[in-house]
Amino acid sequence: MLPDLSTMDKTLYNNLMFLKTYDGDAKDLCLTFAVSKDDFGSNEEISLISGGENIEVTNLNKHRYIEMVAKYYVCDRIKDQSEAFRRGLWDVIEKKWLQIFNEPELQVVISGPNDGSIDIEDMKANTKLVGGYTVFDTNINRFWRVVKSFNGKQRAQLLRFVTSCESPPPLGFASMNPPFTIQRIPFINDDQLPTASTCFNILKLPAYTSEKILRDRLLYSIQSCSGFELT
């Protein structure tokens, strides 16, 4: 379940990978078979196994600990919500209809094929500009020239970075809600990176001094496999 965790919580994933490859004594990290649950400001300790809060993580059992932490965050923590979603989905769609698809096929049914086919002109026509940007802004014109030069994979990475989904809306960008938005942010220097607010489909783009710098910084951000840590 570690690969799934990497897309949900990159920081936790990196911490577990650090533990997995840690050459020292795992006891030095003072870990136990328990995790902390933050419930609206109230912390609760959840045991991963019976009496887990009193069981140290050692070099001998650390791999089991890693597997159990990943399972908790990917499955157990959201079990109630997942069950509620599944019951609601089956109220709308017959269960037997969904069972004919495997996971990749179902993803295509829900989100459409991920072939990198993104209509840039449609995207451009339905993009909202805020923070001082206008359609006549030099930096915005540079941005669209850069995006048009991207290959299919890079365009999908851009869309995923901003919206968390690498496929375009099935009904076109006019149907995206909130709309794809580019926001101007205060310029400090050309080392700044574009960031995103995926909940609102906002790309926060500094006004770079050249098209090459804009391209380099944008590619770095969208190819960094980062999510909310670059927001």
Active site residues: 199
Q: Which among 205, 225, 166 has a CA at the least distance from the CA of 14? A: 225
Q: Which residues contact 185 (CB under 8 A, 6 or more apart)?
A: 131, 195, 204, 205, 206
The rounded distance, in Å, linking the Cα atoms of 144 and 129 is: 13
CA 147 to each of CA 74, 150, 155, 192, 213: distance values in angstroms, whole numbers, following the listed order: 34, 5, 7, 19, 13
Q: Which runs of E-coded beta strand occur in the chain?
A: 34-39, 42-47, 128-130, 181-184, 195-197, 202-205
Please tell me the distance from the alpha carbon of residue 27 to that of residue 118, in angstroms, as a whole number: 50
The token pair at 82 is 């997942």
